[in-house]
Amino acid sequence: MAKAMTKSQIADHLAGKAGITKKAAAELLDDLATLAHKEAKNTFALPGIGKLVLANRKARMGRNPQTGEAIKIPAKRVVKFRVAKAAKDGILGKR
């Protein structure tokens, strides 16, 4: 399996495509991440890639895998990422 691209590699690619410096591209990535963190509570979408959504999980019963003992898992808020249809089609191909 191939390794994932690093932040530096992504910034280098974006800098070459956009004709900007690598430092400016890295700052753009940082600003995009910061914006996503702030706006996730209102659903943050990256067109063609997907969106970050906050979801509430209900309390439920689970099992301790070591002992098999039933335990109560409390309710909590989680962040989910929903992949856009365009990204699915681009990665997997049309079915």
Using DSSP's 3-state secondary structure scheme, residue 4 falls into: coil
Question: Which segments of the chain belong to CATH 4.10.520.10?
Answer: 43-95
For the structural domain made of 43-95, what CATH number should be given? 4.10.520.10
Percentage, residues of the chain above pLDDT 90: 89
Closest among 7, 55, 4, 9 to 33, alpha carbons compared: 7
Look up tokens 């996730």; give the residue. 40
pLDDT of residue 58: 96
Residues in the chain predicted with pLDDT less than 50, given as ranges, are none
Do strands 70-73 and 44-46 pair parallel, antiparallel, or not at all (unpaired)?
unpaired
pLDDT digits 0-9 by tens, 34-57? 999 999 888 999 999 999 999 999
Structure-block tokens of residue 58:
């209900």
The overall average pLDDT reported for the chain is 93
Given this model, what pLDDT does residue 40 score? 87
In this prediction the pTM is 0.75
